[in-house]
Amino acid sequence: MISIGAASSDPSALPTFDRGTGFTGSAEHPRRAFVEQIMGLPISVHVRGPKARGPEVAGAVTELFTALRADDERFSTWKPASPVSRIRRGEMSLEDADPRILEVAALCEEATRRTGGAFSAWLPGPDGEPAFDPSGLVKGWAVEQAFDALVERLDRLGAAEGFGAHDVLVSAGGDVAVQCARTDTPDWRIGIEDPRDRRRILLSVPLRRGAVATSGTAARGQHILDPTTGRPPAGLLSATVIGPRLTWADVYATAAFVRGRDAATWIATIADHAAVLVDLEGILETVCPAG
Amino acid sequence: MRRIVYAMMGTVSALVLLFSYHTSLGSSSSETGNANANNGTGTGASSSGETSGDPSEASGSSGSSGSSGSSNSSSSGTYTGDAVDTQWGVVQVKITVKNGKITRAEAVQYPSGNGRDQEINAYAVPQLNSEVIAAQSGNIDAVSGATVTSGGYLQSLQSAIDQAKL
């Protein structure tokens, strides 16, 4: 439903306007946020649309959390009983793993190829030998899969008379995917945090469909290793990549961060992606594809 | 009364299309133009309903499609207009009238499935220009940053945004 100037006694319910950004729509719809902690990450889901606060939407979002928990059981390198942990210990071969793990393994190979080796799922394990660790790709991929399924469920619900279309945003610990089914709503606005002061937003990106992923060390310290040197990368405080799909925005953000100083020239070669890089002096560089 | 309602519906249909028609992430100069146009329209639409209270108080039940309105008095009720074929697709508007004033207008049918909505909502590479960078307002929906852990969530900006919408 598009509601125009719906009468309300609550001034905060009236449309707000901000000319500084890519503001587009103005209709006010109910909105609801859901948060659960999965894979050690806060997963925030925002839905806006006529029935955003209804039980059907809550049920559809619950299925997203359930799917992510199932992938956590599959891919966790922290849970000793997970199939990926068993593969890492050599108790099971990768070839015998379930199709989702094989799909991720194949995507990891593709990611290594696309990033020229800056991304790898074969990182030194506890014994120093390379072990299968798809963690760097799994989070974005699992969230993208669950996000797509939620969008489909909302589309099906929206086909029913009187239900209406709903927009969705999912943030998984700072990696964000958005989709708009409505055309009367403002763009989702994704703020990119300042890696030197995490309470500040460096800039905000308006997006109706797509993903924003950031790689950096501000939150967890040095947890990213350069596969080619085995050492933490240097040269950037953070790398944010905006693209159509979360899996690849996430992989490219990691790779850009690992590449450090040559990240800008590399990311410019990738179609349909933009990047925001913050160097060690806090200087911002934005990269947009030509055209 | 009905004739007046239809005249108002014509206006409302035009408003719906104004709200529906926009481009996402276009050049910054045209965005500013669109925002201004929407701003003006939005203000006008709001003022038409500002004398009323809660829309749910409006009397009358929802009229069935086909332009019949049911009402308890001559100047209150809910009316559904005819579906109008526009260049963007079919638009049908339902309005709620209370004491002769429109208190609520909503599209019960709006352009979709004709590719227009997909076009509007297609992925577009953001232009990361100064217009975007200038946005320091707190009016954001999500924060992208170095991975927030569950332990760090409560101190995060995302947590504050979520809390506002829970």
Confidence at residue B47, expressed as pLDDT on a 0 to 100 scale: 31
| Angle (nearest 5°) at CA A146 between A140 and A147 | 80
Pairwise CA distance, residues B104 & B83, whole Å: 18
* Confidence tier at B110 by pLDDT (50, 70, 90): low
> Does residue A8 fall inside a structural domain?
no
Confidence at residue B165, expressed as pLDDT on a 0 to 100 scale: 73
Are residue B152 and residue B121 in the same domain, yes or no?
Answer: no
For residue B154, give how far its alpha carbon lies from the nearest alpha carbon of chain A (Å): 9
Neighbours of A244 (CB within 10 A): 17
Are residue B12 and residue B75 in the same domain, yes or no?
Answer: yes
Could you give the number of structural domains in chain B?
Answer: 2
C-beta atoms of B143 and A174 within 8 A = yes
C-beta atoms of A40 and B143 within 8 A = no
Are residue B98 and residue B126 in the same domain, yes or no?
Answer: yes
Are residue B151 and residue B131 in the same domain, yes or no?
Answer: no
Say yes or no to pLDDT of B54 above 60: no
Are residue B27 and residue B84 in the same domain, yes or no?
Answer: yes
> Does residue A10 fall inside a structural domain?
no
Say yes or no: A19 contacts chain B, CB-CB below 8 A. yes
- Chain A residue closest in CA terms to B111: A183
Please list the helix, strand and coil fractions of chain B in percent, rounded to the nearest 5, in that order: 40, 20, 40
Could you give the number of structural domains in chain A?
Answer: 1
Are residue B69 and residue B151 in the same domain, yes or no?
Answer: no
Closest partner CB to A238 (pick from B22, B141, B146): B146
* Confidence tier at B147 by pLDDT (50, 70, 90): confident
Q: What is the mean pLDDT of residues B52-64?
A: 36
Q: What is the mean pLDDT of residues A82-98?
A: 91
C-beta atoms of A216 and B146 within 8 A = yes
Over residues A193-238, the pLDDT tens digits come to 888 887 788 888 999 999 999 998 754 555 677 777 766 777 899 9
Over residues A107-162, the pLDDT tens digits come to 999 999 999 999 999 887 777 788 899 999 999 999 999 999 999 999 999 988 88
Are residue B102 and residue B155 in the same domain, yes or no?
Answer: no
Q: Output the six-digit token pair for A104.
A: 């991720």
Confidence at residue A234, expressed as pLDDT on a 0 to 100 scale: 75
- Chain A residue closest in CA terms to B116: A183
Say yes or no: A290 contacts chain B, CB-CB below 8 A. no
Are residue B72 and residue B18 in the same domain, yes or no?
Answer: yes
* Domain of B149, in residue numbers: 137-166
C-beta atoms of B25 and A208 within 8 A = yes
For residue B102, give how far its alpha carbon lies from the nearest alpha carbon of chain A (Å): 9
Are residue B108 and residue B153 in the same domain, yes or no?
Answer: no
CATH assignment of the domain containing A91: 3.10.520.10
Pairwise CA distance, residues A242 & A250, whole Å: 9
* Domain of A39, in residue numbers: 24-287
> Does residue A19 fall inside a structural domain?
no
Confidence at residue B55, expressed as pLDDT on a 0 to 100 scale: 37
pTM for the full predicted model: 0.68
* Confidence tier at A23 by pLDDT (50, 70, 90): very low
